[in-house]
A = this chain, B = another copy of it.
């Protein structure tokens, strides 16, 4: 049995609480947030507090607060030599106060309040300052059925950067497609099966092999038509740069 204390009550903290609460081998000994309101709802399931000085003992303290607040909160903890981890892809391991044993438990997934998530689909990237602490975090990931990966700081920040490309930037391409379809009175919904299939395809093929379309074929006629349609649009430059990127990857001449 691993005991944990969760600090923070946002998207990640809340999803983690639910996963830990359901897990057989994890006991959530306490849930802290700077204001009690957001966790008051859970007070019959877990001990809740907004008082740092009354934090309970635990094998792992998980700081799942906004990136900017992690460092300060870690320095306010009223104990030493405990295992304290944050959940961020971009904050350094050594931004945590050194009075405690430091680690990172970074769930590489997108969390939001509206969408439930199965932790089987949440790879956890683990980093620890002390090798001996790796095992506890690995067991914690296993307890919620997440795959876990040992990474160093450089790898974690690369994964976070890569995640921005496949999540935030991809989502912005969906947004642009939404604007394009709306502008001619068609429905964005028509694109949804294609969006799913595009994501499905690379589960078994490399993105390199999965590529198709006018840029890869160097179909100048179609590219020209598209650029004409995008004249005066802020999306034209995005079309050009991504077309050039595909052509570079696939050894085609520049636009």
Contacts and interface: CB of A to CB of B under 8 A. Distances in A.
Nearest to A192: B203
B213 A168 contact: yes
A166 B190 CA distance: 12
A190 B67 contact: no
A117 B242 CA distance: 27
B175 A211 contact: yes
A155 B158 CA distance: 39
Contacts of A175: 207-208, 211, 249
A201 to B, nearest CB: 6
Given A175-B249, A178-B207, A241-B238, A170 B170 contact: yes
A245 B234 contact: yes
A37 to B, nearest CB: 22
Taking residues whose C-beta sits less than 8 angstroms from the other chain, chain A's interface range is: 35 or more
A231 interface: no
A214 interface: yes
Contacts of A246: 168-169, 172
A222 B90 contact: yes
Nearest to A193: B121
A53 interface: no
A106 to B, nearest CB: 10
A195 B149 CA distance: 17
A154 B228 CA distance: 12
Contacts of A170: 170, 173-174, 195, 198-199
Given A108-B190, A193-B109, A234-B245, A180 B168 contact: no
Interface of A: 67-68, 90, 108-110, 112, 114-115, 117, 121-123, 125, 149, 151, 154-155, 157-159, 161-178, 180-181, 183-188, 190-203, 205-208, 210-216, 219, 221-222, 225-226, 229-230, 234-235, 237-239, 241-242, 245-246, 248-249
10 contacts: A109-B193, A112-B201, A149-B187, A163-B177, A165-B180, A168-B215, A168-B242, A174-B202, A178-B208, A192-B202
